[in-house]
Amino acid sequence: MINDNKKEKGVVLYHSGAGSTKFIAQLITEELSPFFDMEISHIKNEFNNEKLNRYSFVVFGFPTHHAEPSLSMLEYVSGLNKFSVSPKAFIFTSYGLYPGNSLRIFAKFLNKKNIRVLGSEEFKSPASDGVLLFPDKLKFMFNFEQNLYRKIKNFAKQVVSCKTSENNKLPPYKWYVPLNNLIKPLGEFTYGKYKKNISADTDLCIKCNKCIDNCERNAWINISEYPVFVVDKCEFCLECIHKCPVNAISFSENMKNKPRLNEKFFKTVKYEQL
Ligand SMILES: Cc1cc2nc3c(=O)[nH]c(=O)nc-3n(C[C@H](O)[C@H](O)[C@H](O)COP(=O)(O)O)c2cc1C
């Protein structure tokens, strides 16, 4: 066990657009808290090498985008220096339908910084707003996996029971993922098209600047009366849409006035699943 009588420090660092990854990160933090002195943070809070060195281990969580880790998470790790003493990490992704090799890609990314990956997990979460554009038949994509909470608990157990000396474990390679490359351009094209339509409705906007403050990639800027959207910076993670307190931001007329997420996910995942 990493853990002994004295509580070691651990941190869960996440990137999240629509909120699913954040929610899972919170539940993982809760599960680990009896064993470790836990903290949780969004990656934007400047966790550099020096700060990360204060923890015995780091849990990284990110959404899968186009069968890869979210760009913000990759950029965050790119910005770290190579560690001289290899930190221990556990990684997880939340995905809507098919995570591909996103965990393995991310593990290799961490390895380049000399960060060891000791455990990993994929969590099927509700697909996010893109599904609002599909016919009703596809609304099943709003579902999340039935054993999600159990899986979260098992993931936490992996962390608790991990031996300090354990070596890097790459998540298994899924041979069929290259097939995904055939449909990937279609997904990117579709999302690219909707990304261009992201805008804030000035009739609703209350100029709170939450979109500006929360965007990891500075895709919202403060150069006029209302926040201005810069499409080239956007990774379409949807965080601005979900952080807007008055639902002023959207990328299609179709999604206006529709419930944005599967509320059941946030309300029941912990209480009805065991
Ligand atoms: C731009 C974009 C691309 C996505 N690509 C995939 C994908 O390739 N495979 C998948 O299973 N889910 C995909 N999803 C769904 C998300 O992975 C899923 O909804 C995830 O739980 C979102 O996490 P978040 O709420 O923390 O942002 C994509 C979502 C977006 C916005």
Residue 2: pLDDT above 60? Answer: no
pLDDT tier at 274, thresholds 50, 70, 90: low
Q: Is position 24 within any domain?
A: yes
**CA 192 / ligand 1 centre spacing (Å):** 14
**CA 65 / ligand 1 centre spacing (Å):** 5
- The first and second tokens of residue 231, run together, are 């499409």
Average pLDDT of the residues in 202-221: 95
- Closest among 53, 134, 109, 54 to 86, alpha carbons compared: 53
pTM over 0.85: yes
Ligand 1 atom, smallest distance to 24 CA: 26
pLDDT tens digits, one per residue of 81-102: 999 999 999 999 999 888 999 9
Residues 163 and 196 reside in one and the same domain: no
pLDDT tens digits, one per residue of 57-66: 999 999 999 8
Q: Is position 258 within any domain?
A: no
Alpha helix (H) ranges present in the chain? Answer: 20-32, 49-52, 71-78, 102-112, 148-161, 177-196, 210-214, 239-243, 263-268
Could you tell me if 237 and 17 are in contact, meaning their C-beta atoms sit under 8 angstroms apart? Answer: yes
Residue 199: pLDDT above 70? Answer: yes
pLDDT tens digits, one per residue of 139-195: 666 677 888 899 999 999 999 998 777 889 999 998 877 777 777 788 888 888 889
User: What is the count of structural domains for the chain?
Assistant: 2
Could you tell me if 59 and 28 are in contact, meaning their C-beta atoms sit under 8 angstroms apart? Answer: yes
Q: Please give the pLDDT value at position 85.
A: 93
Q: Please give the pLDDT value at position 273.
A: 61
Residues 123 and 220 reside in one and the same domain: no
The string of DSSP codes covering 194-211 is: HHHT-EE-TTT-----HH
Sign of CA dihedral 245, 246, 250, 252: positive
Average pLDDT of the residues in 76-85: 96
The whole domain housing 208 covers 180-251
* Ligand 1 pocket mutation pick from 65, 102, 184 by most atoms within 8 angstroms of CB: 65
Q: Please give the pLDDT value at position 72.
A: 95
C-alpha torsion angle, residues 100, 265, 200, 194 (rounded to 10): 30
Residues with a CB atom less than 6 Å from ligand 1: 16-22, 63-67, 94-99, 125, 127-128, 130, 191, 236-238
Average pLDDT of the residues in 106-118: 97
Residues 25 and 138 reside in one and the same domain: yes
**CA 111 / ligand 1 centre spacing (Å):** 24
Residues 240 and 136 reside in one and the same domain: no
pLDDT tens digits, one per residue of 126-142: 876 766 667 766 666 66
